[in-house]
Structure 1
Amino acid sequence: MTNSDLVSIITPFKNSSKFLEECLRSIINQSYKSWELIMIDDYSNDNSFDIANKIAENDKRIKLYKNKGNKGIIHSLRLGLKKCSGNYITRMDSDDIMHEDKIKELLNSLKKKGKGYVSTSKVKYFSKKGVGLGYKKYENWLNKMMEYNDNYDHIYKECVIPSPNWMIHIDDLLNCSAFDLDIYPEDYDLVFRFYKNNIKIIPSQKTLHKWRDYPVRTSRTDSNYADNSFLDLKLKYFIELNYDTNKMLVIWGAGRRGKFLAKKLSALEIDFVWVCNNPNKIDQIIYNKQLKNIEFLNRLKNYQSIITVANDKSQLLINEFFKSKGLIKMKDYYFFC
């Protein structure tokens, strides 16, 4: 083993005193020992820093820094990346738990392939009060993609790589300009950058990360992780990476998400057709667009669709509709939820 095998783990933390020690013990107990832990305190006002500092005093692999001011997690990740010495980079959330072989497994997968890849694995949510149905559904969805290795086919639905459960060569991370802009949700933005730069995903079938859920988890309470932030990001990357200006754009669905995207597209002066199957909304004019029924699509010869209908059964029917017309997912139509 050479120093080129060093893994740098970036862990931002803020007011994590309740869970921080358990998180750090799971890192210290890794079967793979050649790692450094870069911890960034993002202006905690509890005793998180003291907990981290006490443990760091007994393990020189742990390096502790402070954000200058309450700047947020992206600034912490940016600072952490600058402090990394390893050729391989991963992120760990301060309230989660690593499987003892996580670093070893992700690194071995990555080294077999080389640059141009990111390794990840299945995850498991846990909570003292029980995991909610939404989080359980997300866990199952993520893990199913690991089995089929088709993560990018679903990238406009949700973040297809768990935020604290990836490893990548530092050159690839820097080539993706990771954390260079204050764009939230930062984990989803990073995965879109992987997608943009053709970073291929290596999925492990092992469950290597335990993801803690609790009422005041940042993703639950911070407005940067509200649904509209996700929609903004999806639309941004769709226009940049997949939008075909030679085709008429279609928005399918007139619920909250459909209205949000319609308003954004109107502001961007991007023309589109808006369809839905709700008889109470058909022919209504919203944002200067008249909603059409689904049959209107038969008049269009060359179009590209964004689907904002969330119901699982409806999505299956929509998928069959497009397939019957010979249209291709992630080229002619995209599910945004």
Structure 2
Amino acid sequence: MNNYLISILIPFKNSSMYLKECMDSIVSQSYQNWEVLAIDDHSADDSRAVVEEYSLRDSRIIVHSNQGDGIISALRTAYNLSKGELFTRMDSDDIMNSKKLEIMASSLEKHGKGHIAVGGVRYFSDRGVGNGYMRYEKWLNKLTAKGVNFSEIYKECVIPSPCWMVHKIDLEECGAFEPNIYPEDYDLTFRFYERGLQCIPCNEILHKWRDYDTRTSRTSEHYAQNYFLQLKLYYFLKLHHDHRRPLTVWGAGDKGKSLARELLQQNIPFYWLCDNPKKIGKNIYGQELRHFNYLHKLEKPQSIVTVANEEAQKMITNFFSNLGQSSMVDYFFFC
């Protein structure tokens, strides 16, 4: 196996109580040719002192201050300081499987450029993991085991931010951390997809993902649902929407309404469909809600589905199948 230098980019802010576990999991990796670029995003606790203590003992660990503000700027700062041939991210409150770097680097060596090494994730928390996160973990790991992550990219972020690895040239060609777009991990995932990178299947748990009330994804406005929806719509319109085909939105819940508002603001025509008898025939934002059977009247429609219920999604999938339509070509689940 080639002895690639792996650059591990770690933005950190006020995570002192978890940093030792994180750093210990890196130092004890079976694969040892790595560098850590740990960027302090203006911490108010003793996080920096914790990392600097490790840096004094291990020259592979480099600590710098964020040259700007926020996680994207911190990633940019880390990337500009890096020297690696392979790249990965790490969250300062998480824990690596001891063979994570070895497995990912080996996968990339075997499959070559144009690929993303991914791995299974496991949530953990001192207070227990909620059902929503358990469902997300199960869904994500199922995709990762087959390497078909991009097949459901519009539902949620299909590549966890701290559990991927790529060749530097692929990261460069995807724009690395230049775009100032949140959520930054989901945006990068879309850019991997847009560039045509292929996920390498992996059925091993390589990363332990810590959940707690003050983690950034729970507290920052940049990770609110409206940011996710806007990002999904942006890439759908860029990568998949065919303006020659009629567009439909299926669902009139909160996400369906938010999506309808976005389309109206962008002057993009659409038909609004639902399966709720109480809403069919009503007008919302000047748009009539029609029964989903209206799809039979449209010629080669494209549909965005905002219905989250799993049983309802199965029914909807069967409905599209009977129409001879295909996922990620004719219909797209946005939740």
User: Which band: TM-score by shorter chain?
Assistant: over 0.9
- Aligned-partner Cα distance in 2 for 1:327–1:144: 24
Structure 1 segment 243-282 matched on structure 2, within 5 A: 243-282=241-280
Matched-pair contact (CA < 8 Å) for 2:272–2:289: yes
- In structure 1, the residue matched to 2:35 is 36
- Aligned-partner Cα distance in 2 for 1:68–1:142: 33
Q: Name the SS of the counterpart of 1:80 in structure 2.
A: helix
1:191-220 residue CA offsets vs partner (Å, 9 max, x unmatched): 000000000001221111000001111111
- Aligned-partner Cα distance in 1 for 2:246–2:299: 9
1:9-55 residue CA offsets vs partner (Å, 9 max, x unmatched): 00000001010011001000001110000000000000000111111
1:277 CA drift (Å): 1.3
- In structure 1, the residue matched to 2:139 is 141
For the aligned residue pairs, the C-alpha RMSD in angstroms reads 1.0
Q: What amino acid is the match of 2:14?
A: N
Matched-pair contact (CA < 8 Å) for 1:309–1:315: yes
Q: What amino acid is the match of 1:312?
A: E
- Aligned-partner Cα distance in 2 for 1:323–1:80: 46
**How many equivalent residue pairs?**
335
Structure 2: runs of 5 or more not aligned: none
Structure 1 residues 118 and 2, CA, compared in 2 at 3 Å: closer, same or farther?
A: closer
- In structure 2, the residue matched to 1:291 is 289
- Aligned-partner Cα distance in 2 for 1:304–1:323: 13
- In structure 2, the residue matched to 1:154 is 152
- Aligned-partner Cα distance in 1 for 2:62–2:128: 34
Q: What amino acid is the match of 1:15?
A: N
Structure 1 residues 278 and 38, CA, compared in 2 at 3 Å: closer, same or farther?
A: same
- Aligned-partner Cα distance in 1 for 2:239–2:67: 35
Matched-pair contact (CA < 8 Å) for 2:8–2:88: yes
Structure 1 residues 125 and 272, CA, compared in 2 at 3 Å: closer, same or farther?
A: same
Flag as ranges the 4+ runs of structure 1 deviating above 4 A. none
Q: What amino acid is the match of 2:79?
A: L
- Aligned-partner Cα distance in 2 for 1:238–1:92: 28
- In structure 2, the residue matched to 1:61 is 60
Q: What amino acid is the match of 2:288?
A: Q
- Aligned-partner Cα distance in 1 for 2:170–2:200: 14
- Aligned-partner Cα distance in 2 for 1:119–1:148: 12
1:148 CA drift (Å): 2.7
Matched-pair contact (CA < 8 Å) for 1:7–1:35: yes
- Aligned-partner Cα distance in 1 for 2:332–2:102: 36
- Aligned-partner Cα distance in 1 for 2:221–2:176: 21
Matched-pair contact (CA < 8 Å) for 2:146–2:202: no
Matched-pair contact (CA < 8 Å) for 1:43–1:68: no
1:298-325 residue CA offsets vs partner (Å, 9 max, x unmatched): 2112200000000000000000000011
Structure 1 segment 220-231 matched on structure 2, within 5 A: 220-231=218-229
Q: What amino acid is the match of 1:264?
A: E
- Aligned-partner Cα distance in 2 for 1:188–1:311: 22
Matched-pair contact (CA < 8 Å) for 2:67–2:74: no
1:120 CA drift (Å): 0.6
1:2 CA drift (Å): 6.6
Given the two structures, how large is their TM-score scaled by the length of structure 2? 0.98
- In structure 1, the residue matched to 2:10 is 11
1:165 CA drift (Å): 0.3
User: Could you tell me which of 70, 73, 86 is aligned with 1:72?
Assistant: 70
Matched-pair contact (CA < 8 Å) for 1:120–1:167: yes
Given the two structures, how large is their TM-score scaled by the length of structure 1? 0.98
Structure 1: runs of 5 or more not aligned: none
Matched-pair contact (CA < 8 Å) for 2:67–2:73: no
Q: Name the SS of the counterpart of 2:201 in structure 1.
A: strand
- Aligned-partner Cα distance in 1 for 2:211–2:217: 10
User: Could you tell me which of 105, 124, 127 is aligned with 2:125?
Assistant: 127
- Aligned-partner Cα distance in 1 for 2:196–2:120: 21
- Aligned-partner Cα distance in 1 for 2:288–2:76: 45
Q: What amino acid is the match of 1:127?
A: S
Percent identity over the alignment?
Answer: 50
- In structure 1, the residue matched to 2:205 is 207
- In structure 2, the residue matched to 1:237 is 235
- In structure 1, the residue matched to 2:320 is 322
